[in-house]
Amino acid sequence: MYKFIKNIIEMYSQKPQKGYVQTFKKLSSSLAENLSALRTVFNQSADLTIRELSISGIPAAVITIDNMIDKQVLGESIMSPLLSFKYIGSEKGLLEKIKLQVLYTAELLELSSIEELSLKIMSGFAAILIDGCENAVSVGIQGYASRGVSEPESDIVQRGSREGFVESVRVNMTMIRRRLKNPELKFETMTVGKTSRTETALCYLTGTVSHEILDELKNRLRNIPLETVLASGYLVPFLEDKGSGSFFSSIGVTERPDTVCGKLTEGRIAVLVDGVPSALIVPYIFAEHFQSLDDYSNRAYFATFTRILKYCAFFISILLPGIFVSLGTYDPEVFPPIMLNKIASSIAATPLSLTTETIVILFIYEIMREAGLRMPQPLGYAVSIVGGLVIGDTAVNAGLIGAPTLMVVAISAISSYVVPDLYAPSAMLRMIFTIIGGAFGIWGISVMLSILLVDICGKTSFGVPYTSPVTPMSSVVLRDVVIRAGWKTLSQKTEKVQDLPGTDLKGADKNE
The Cα 95–Cα 102 span in angstroms is 10
Number of compact structural domains in the chain = 3
Categorize the per-residue pLDDT at 6 as very low, low, confident or very high, splitting at 50, 70 and 90.
Answer: low
Angle between helices 300-330 and 423-458 (to 10 degrees): 90
Q: Are residues 128 and 202 in the same domain?
A: no
The Cα 299–Cα 302 span in angstroms is 6
Q: Are residues 131 and 173 in the same domain?
A: no
Q: Are residues 246 and 116 in the same domain?
A: no
Q: Are residues 123 and 194 in the same domain?
A: no
The answer to the question of residue 121 being in a domain is yes
Q: Nearest Cα to 136, choosing from 30, 42, 267?
A: 30
pLDDT at 504: 45
The answer to the question of residue 178 being in a domain is yes
The answer to the question of residue 367 being in a domain is yes
The answer to the question of residue 369 being in a domain is yes
- For range 177-188, the mean pLDDT: 91
Name the domain boundary from 458, 480, 500: 458
The Cα 278–Cα 169 span in angstroms is 10
Q: Are residues 226 and 310 in the same domain?
A: no
CB 213 within 8 A of CB 269: yes
- For range 347-366, the mean pLDDT: 87
- For the ranges 127-131, 235-239, 367-371, 466-470, the lowest mean pLDDT is seen at 367-371
Give residue 209's domain range: 169-284
Nearest 10 degrees: CA dihedral of 131, 137, 141, 143?
A: 70
Categorize the per-residue pLDDT at 8 as very low, low, confident or very high, splitting at 50, 70 and 90.
Answer: low
pLDDT at 411: 92
The Cα 358–Cα 376 span in angstroms is 29
The Cα 507–Cα 483 span in angstroms is 17
Name the domain boundary from 103, 125, 140: 140
Q: Are residues 190 and 120 in the same domain?
A: no
CB 260 within 8 A of CB 176: yes
Q: Are residues 280 and 304 in the same domain?
A: no
pLDDT at 380: 65
Categorize the per-residue pLDDT at 13 as very low, low, confident or very high, splitting at 50, 70 and 90.
Answer: low
The answer to the question of residue 50 being in a domain is yes
The answer to the question of residue 12 being in a domain is no
Exposed (0-12), middle (13-18) or buried (19+): which is 336, by Cβ within 10 Å? exposed
The answer to the question of residue 396 being in a domain is yes
What is the pTM assigned to this prediction?
Answer: 0.82
Categorize the per-residue pLDDT at 495 as very low, low, confident or very high, splitting at 50, 70 and 90.
Answer: very low
Give just the sign of the alpha carbon dihedral 471, 475, 479, 482. Answer: positive
Categorize the per-residue pLDDT at 415 as very low, low, confident or very high, splitting at 50, 70 and 90.
Answer: very high
Name the domain boundary from 284, 309, 327: 284
pLDDT at 433: 95
The Cα 97–Cα 100 span in angstroms is 5
Distances (CA, A) of 47 to 39, 66, 137, 292, 386: 11, 5, 20, 44, 48
For the chain, give the mean pLDDT.
83
Name the range with the highest mean pLDDT among 77-91, 354-368, 462-476. Answer: 354-368
The answer to the question of residue 256 being in a domain is yes
Q: Are residues 182 and 329 in the same domain?
A: no
Name the range with the highest mean pLDDT among 7-21, 26-40, 469-483. Answer: 26-40
The Cα 132–Cα 166 span in angstroms is 42
Number of CB atoms found within 10 A of residue 465's CB: 21
The Cα 96–Cα 102 span in angstroms is 9
Rg (C-alpha) for the chain, rounded Å, is 29
Query: What's phi and psi for 387, nearest 5 deg?
Result: -60, -40
Q: Are residues 367 and 444 in the same domain?
A: yes
CB 481 within 8 A of CB 291: no
For residue range 246-262, list pLDDT tens digits in order: 889 889 999 999 999 99
pLDDT score of 476 more than 80: no
Cα 165 off chain centre by: 11
pLDDT at 378: 67
Q: Are residues 307 and 446 in the same domain?
A: yes
Q: Are residues 309 and 267 in the same domain?
A: no
Q: Are residues 126 and 193 in the same domain?
A: no
The tally of CA atoms less than 13 A away on the side-chain side of residue 507 is 25
Which residue type occupies 359? I
